[in-house]
Amino acid sequence: MITGPATRSATTASCRGQRRPRSARVSQSLKSAFRLVRYELGTTRKGAAIALEPLPARLAPFLAEGFAAIDPWAAYPYPPSGLETYFSAEEPNAPRFLLSVGGEPAGAVGMRLNWLRGPHVQFLGVLPPFQGDGLGAALLEWIEGQSSGERNLWLTVSDFNARACAFYERHGFAVVAPLPGLVRDDRTELLMRKRLRGD
């Protein structure tokens, strides 16, 4: 039996000898996949070009006003100022993208990279004039493609937002846990996951 300093040394040596945790490597992979550049996503059913690009701060007030007026954000309610702060923020490992259709601002996507063995979709929204043309599906397809090689893709959705829940379930997400009181004490969010690969 090894005792005293030899035990501490062996333990220290084994800790020092470990490779970097997988999560640190994944972060670099996801940073590359979700780098803040322009992405062409094809066209809508009506033939308009769909693109994602870094969300410019000058459009944060416009998007904030638009989303604060519709559910689920209106149901909380989220003030436009809070959404504007989110849209204009620059955080490491949390890129925000502007969705445009035919050159017009149509929505936004916000990601949290390197979250529980896969990225988390923090925000996905399409403004009302652009809804019903397959944009949400195109965004999820793009996000999943950028996340290839990861184990999971995560998102949260308000439990009262039945339309969004059904949409995500159609796209392969399943509820893994309720999160009561996450945003407000009287509301429950649902943590949803799509398995991208098994190990």
Look at residue 27 in the predicted model and tell me its pLDDT.
57
CB 194 within 8 A of CB 173: yes
- Domain for residue 103, yes or no? yes
- What is the pTM (predicted TM-score) of this model? 0.83
| Average predicted confidence (pLDDT) for the chain | 87
- Domain for residue 39, yes or no? yes
Higher pLDDT, 20 or 113: 113
Distant-in-sequence, close-in-space partners of 46: CB < 8 Å, separation ≥ 6: 133
Share of the chain above pLDDT 70, in %: 85
- Summarised one tens digit per residue, pLDDT across range 93-117 is 899 999 999 999 999 999 999 888 8
Distant-in-sequence, close-in-space partners of 151: CB < 8 Å, separation ≥ 6: 117, 118, 195, 196, 197, 198, 199
Look at residue 26 in the predicted model and tell me its pLDDT.
46
- Domain for residue 27, yes or no? yes
What is the CA 144 to chain-centroid distance, rounded?
10
The band of 2, judged by pLDDT with boundaries at 50, 70 and 90, is: very low
- Domain for residue 141, yes or no? yes
Average confidence (pLDDT) over 172-196:
95
- Domain for residue 45, yes or no? yes
Supply the CATH number for residue 67's domain.
3.40.630.30
Look at residue 38 in the predicted model and tell me its pLDDT.
96
- Domain for residue 170, yes or no? no
Q: 156: how many CB neighbours lie within 10 A of its CB?
A: 16
Look at residue 32 in the predicted model and tell me its pLDDT.
87
Note down the domain range covering 94.
21-150
Look at residue 102 in the predicted model and tell me its pLDDT.
96
Domains contained in the chain, number? 1
Long-range contacts: 74-79, Cβ < 8 Å, 24+?
75/158, 75/160, 76/183, 76/184, 76/187
- Domain for residue 58, yes or no? yes
Average confidence (pLDDT) over 47-61:
97
Higher pLDDT, 17 or 110: 110
d(CA 186, CA 76): 10
